[in-house]
Amino acid sequence: MIRVLVVDDHPAVRRSLEQFLGGVVDIDCVATAPDGAAAVSLCAEHAPDVVVMDISMPGMDGIAATASIRENHPTSSVIVFTGWGSPELRARAAAAGASAYLLKDGEPEALLLAIRQAAERGRPLSSA
């Protein structure tokens, strides 16, 4: 089982992702968090294989949380899952150690593929 932590400041998005991932046989959504600080804390508690991380959140944003998670929990991969398609944000996510950068308007199967690849490889994005 791939253990996943979902991080988004919108409750409907968190619940939707939790329900979607709950229907996948090889994925277990172990927790959800409303912001980056909670995500860092929950990583220590749940040791997820993969964190699905929004970027724009109050308090600690997704980029800062990604950097903290990668530094303090190097076995947890982070997938940035956002509505922002900015090349600058993608570069910042890569520099923070994200394994993938996906837009929320993509196909759900792309998220599943990214989760499985991140759990398998755990390699960060190239900064190119």
Burial of 108 (0-12, 13-18, 19+ CB in 10 A): exposed
Examine the pLDDT at 114 and tell me if it is beyond 80.
yes
- Determine the pLDDT at residue 126: 45
Assigned CATH topology for domain 2-121: Rossmann fold (3.40.50)
Average of pLDDT values for 92-111? 93
- Determine the pLDDT at residue 125: 54
Strand ranges of the sheet holding 2-7, from the earlier edge strand across to the other edge: 27-33, 2-7, 50-53, 77-82, 100-103
CA quadruple 70, 73, 74, 75: dihedral sign:
negative
Per-chain mean pLDDT for the chain: 92
From 12-21, 42-51, 84-93, the region with the lowest mean pLDDT: 84-93
This prediction's pTM: 0.92
